[in-house]
Amino acid sequence: MQSAWREKKIWRGYAGVVLLVLALASCGHAAGSEIRATTCSIPSPGETGECTLILDRVSPGLSEFEVQVTLENPAIGKITGIRFPSWANLNSKSKVPADSVVLKGADAGRKVGPGQSEVVLATLTIRGDATGTCGIQVVVLGMKDEAGSPYLIAGKDGTLTVREPPEDIPERESSAGSSSLLPHDMGVQIILMPTLTPAPPGPEVTAVPEESLPIPPDTFRENNIGSDDQDPENPGTEEKTGVLCTDSEPGGAKVTVDGRIIGKTPLCIVLDEGAHHLFVSAEGYSPWEGEVFVSSTEQPNRAYIILEEERVYTITAGTGTHGSVHPSGSVRVGHGESAVFTFSPDPGYRLGGIQIDGVWYDAKSPVLFEDVTTNHSLWGTFTPIPPPVAGFSANRTEGYAPLGVLFRDQTTGEVSGMLWEFGDNTSSFETSPVHTYVRTGSYTVSLEVCGAGGCNLSRKEHYIIVREKEPLIADFTANATFGPAPLCVQFQDNSTGNPASWYWDFGDGTNSTGPSPCHLFAAPGIYTVRLIIVADDGVTEAAKEGVVNVSPQVIGGSVGFFEVRCPAEGAHVFLDGRYKGPVENGSLTIPVYVTATPSRIIQVKAEGYLQYYGYLQDYPMEGETIVLEIPLQPALSNGSVAARFQVPPLMGNLSLSGSSPLV
C-alpha cells in the first residue's frame, strides 16, 4: 500500500507541478568569528559524503591554521580522506581513516588576503558506517594573520547524517542517455544554496529564463504539490519532495548528489525537500560543488553549470643511477598550484646536484615548484660518499698506574658513529674519551668510525705503556766534589718516584729549582748539599754532608769571565775539553784564571744541533767579562748529527769591564 502511494505521488509530480528552488546563498558572520563544518549527508551505510571547513571571514588575513575535527559518534562514520585547497601549498594532516583528525595549512603564497569571506580550509571525505546522526565537532587549535601573529577564533560544529538505504525508484533515460527520474525536457524551478566555495578555478552557474523552459511556469503555480500528498497509512502526515534538474557545459558531466553518483548531465532526480550536496565534474575541467536546497513551493528557474577547462602543466622529473625522485615521470600540475619533489639516494650515496630546466644548482631536497604556470623539467644526480678515515692521539702514552689518558679523535670525513677499544676489555662511544688504566702493562688502542660512505679502523699496537710506580726517594750525584775555588759543580738528580718539583740548597746561601743544576762555589769551604723533591703523593729529601770541598786558589787569584750565550737551553759547554756547566736561561758564566795558562778551545754540545767547536781569540783580563755568542746549527734533516762544525774565529766578542755575577 505504502509503495503504491509513493509511486502515485511521484508520477503526480511528473504530470502536475514540481517545485525546486536553485539560488546562490551567501553566509555572513562577524569578521573572522568562526570556522564551521558544513552538513554531511550520506545516502546509506557504505557510501561516502563530503564535509567542508569554512572560515567565514578573513579580516586580519590568514597565514596559518590548525584545526581538529572529530566525529562525536565513531560508530556512525569515519573520516577517510582530506583535500586541501591549492593556496594551502604547505599542509599536513593526521592519518586516516580516523574518528578525529588535525589539519594544518599555510598560505605561503599569500593568496588569501584580508577581507575575503567563505574561505575553504579543507574538504573531508566521510564514510557512513551505520544509520544515524552525530555531530561534527570543530576545535580551532591555532590561527595566525598575515603578519604571523596569533589570534583566537571559534569553531562551529556541523552534522553528519547517514540515512537508510532509499527505496528503488523507476528510472527513465534522459535525452543524453544518462539515468534520470524525470523527463529531461520537464520545466523546473531551482534555488541553489551553496555553502561551499566552488573549487578553483570556479565554474559559472547561470539561471535559464522562464520563457526558455519547456513547460510554462504558470503550470507549476496552478498545481501546488503538497495539497493532498498524504501518506494513506499515516493520515495527516505529508512527505514533501521536489525535483533537482541540472545541465552543464560541457555536457555529459558526472553528477553526484549526497555522495552518491546519479548519472551524467543533463538529468533530473526526485529528492526529499531540504538541503543536498551537489558535485558536478568532468575530466579536464575544474569541478563544481555546493549545497542545494530542494523546495516544493518556490517558483522554478532552471540552472545551468558551466565548467571551466583546467589548465594543466607537466613537470618531468627523473634521476641518474644510485637514487630516485618522488614523484617521478611526467607529473601533471594545475595552473597556479604547487608540487614538491623529494630525492632519495641509495645507501652510500648522496644527492650531488639538481638540474632545473637545463640549469644546474647545488644539491637540495625537497624541491618545491610554486605557482606553476608553465612546463618544467627536473633532474638529479647522485655521487658516492667517501668513507671516513679514522685517526687519534693521546695526551700521554706512558706513565705509572693508575694512568689517566685523554684520547683525541682526529678522524676526517663524515662520521655517524665511533667505537674505541682501549686494550683492557673496555670500550667507549664518546668522541674524545678519558680512560684510566688501573693495571700495569702494554695496551693496544683502536678506533673504528662509520659513516654513510662506510667504516674505517685505526689501530696502534702497544700504544699505552703503564708501569708500576717506584717509591719516592731523593738522591743525587755531583761530577766534582773537590777542587780549588772557584769550583763549578754539575749536580745530577737520581731520584725515583717521578718527582714533580725540586729544591736544591747548596750550603753557601744559594739555591736552585732545576732538576739537575750546575753551581759555582766561589769561596773555599766544605759544603753540605740538600735536595728536596715533591710528587703527587708526598715529599722527601736527601742531604749529603761535606759533599763539596772547595780549597783556596793554588795559583794567584786573578780571575776573569767568559759569558757563553746560546739559544739551546741546557747545552753543555767545555773549555779545552773540561766541562764547565749547562746553559740556563740562555747563558752560562765561566770564571777563568787570568794568571794561569789560558784556555784555547770552546765546545758546545746540545741535542738536535751540530756540535760547536771553535778557537778563543781573546782572553779576559782581571775582572773583565768576554761575551761569546755561539751560533748552533740544527742537525741534518735525515736526523743524523755531524761530529762537529768549524766556524770562523769569534771576532765579534763583546768585552765588559767589571766583575761578573757568579752562578
CATH at 91 = 2.60.40.680
Report whether 435 contacts 426 (CB < 8 A): yes
Query: What DSSP letter does each residue of 483-544 carry, written as one string?
Result: EESSEEEEEEE--BS--SEEEEE-SSS-EE-SSS-EEEE-S-EEEEEEEEEEETTEEEEEEE
Q: Check residue 183 and give its pLDDT.
A: 34
Per-residue pLDDT, 408:
95
Mean pLDDT by 10 residues, the chain (663 residues): 43 37 33 79 90 84 89 92 85 87 86 82 92 92 84 89 68 36 34 36 41 36 39 58 85 90 87 87 86 72 75 91 92 89 92 93 92 93 93 93 93 92 94 93 95 91 90 91 85 90 94 92 90 90 90 70 90 87 88 82 90 89 90 71 45 39 33
Nearest to residue 397, comparing CAs of 340, 472, 463, 307?
463
Report yes or no on 39 lying in a domain. no
The pLDDT of residue 302: 59
Q: Supply the Cα-derived Rg of the chain in whole angstroms.
A: 51
Which residue, 165, 185, 169, 220, is CA-closest to 19?
Answer: 220
The CA-atom distances, in angstroms, between 403 and each of 16, 394, 434, 441, 462 are 107, 12, 10, 11, 15
| pLDDT at site 554 | 56
User: Which of 289, 306, 323 is a domain's end point?
Assistant: 306
Its pTM stands at 0.33
For the chain, the domain total comes to 6
Q: Are residues 340 and 407 in the same domain?
A: no
Q: Are 659 and 557 in contact (CB under 8 A)?
A: no
- Per-residue pLDDT tens for 354-408? 999 999 999 888 999 999 999 999 999 999 999 999 999 999 999 888 899 999 9
Count Cα atoms within 13 angstroms, Cβ side, for 436: 3
CATH code where residue 443 lies: 2.60.40.10
Rounded Cα gap, residues 181 and 171, in angstroms: 5
- Residue 150 near residue 143 (C-beta atoms within 8 A): yes
The label of the residue with cell 594543466 reads 312
Same domain, residue pair 531 and 482: yes
Range of the domain at 451: 392-467
Q: Give the cell for residue 573.
A: 759547554
Whether residue 33 is contained in a domain is answered as no
Rounded Cα–Cα distance for residues 476 and 478 (Å):
7
Q: Do both 91 and 157 map to the same domain?
A: yes
Q: Which three cell numbers stand for residue 291?
A: 549545497
> Could you tell me if residue 32 is inside a domain?
no
The alpha carbon torsion through 631, 634, 635, 639 (nearest 10 deg) reads 170
Last residue of a domain, one of 384, 407, 439: 384
Question: Does any domain span residue 67?
Answer: yes
Give the per-residue pLDDT at 490: 92
Please count the other Cβ atoms lying within 10 Å of the Cβ belonging to residue 418: 21
Q: Grid coordinates standing for 221?
A: 503555480
Which residues is 574 bridged to in the sheet?
Answer: 579, 603
Please indicate, yes or no, whether residues 441 and 516 belong to a single structural domain of this protein: no
3-state secondary structure 69-85: EEECCCCCEEEEEEECC
> Do residues 291 and 343 both lie within one domain?
no
Note the pLDDT tens digit of each residue in 490-507: 999 999 888 999 999 999
Strand order in the sheet with 48-58: 77-83, 116-128, 48-58, 34-37, 154-156
Does one domain contain both 623 and 523?
no
Report the C-alpha gap between 605 and 612 in whole angstroms.
Answer: 6
Calpha distance 207→22 (Å, rounded): 9
Predicted confidence at residue 625, as pLDDT, reads: 92
> What is the model's pLDDT at position 556?
54
Please give the pLDDT value at position 340. Answer: 94
Which triple of cell numbers denotes residue 204? 559559472
Q: Where are the alpha helices (DSSP H) in 288-338?
A: none
Predicted pLDDT at 418: 93
- On whether both 280 and 178 belong to a single domain, the answer is yes
- 293 and 366 in one domain? no
Q: Say whether both 190 and 285 belong to one domain.
A: yes
Q: Is the residue at 663 inside a domain?
A: no
Euclidean distance between CA atoms 472 and 450, whole angstroms: 46
| Same domain? 277 vs 173 | yes
Examine residue 427 and state whether it is found in any structural domain, yes or no. yes
| Residues 491 and 511 grouped into a single domain | yes
Measured distance CA(628)–CA(562) in Å, rounded: 7
The pLDDT of residue 663 is: 30
The residue from 531, 551, 571 where one domain ends is 551
User: Which residues, 6 or more positions from 385, have their beta carbon under 8 angstroms from its beta carbon?
Assistant: 348, 349, 350, 414, 451, 452, 453
Q: Are residues 196 and 129 in the same domain?
A: no
38 belongs to a structural domain = no
**Cα separation, 171 vs 262, whole angstroms:** 11
- Cβ atoms of 621 and 560 closer than 8 Å: yes
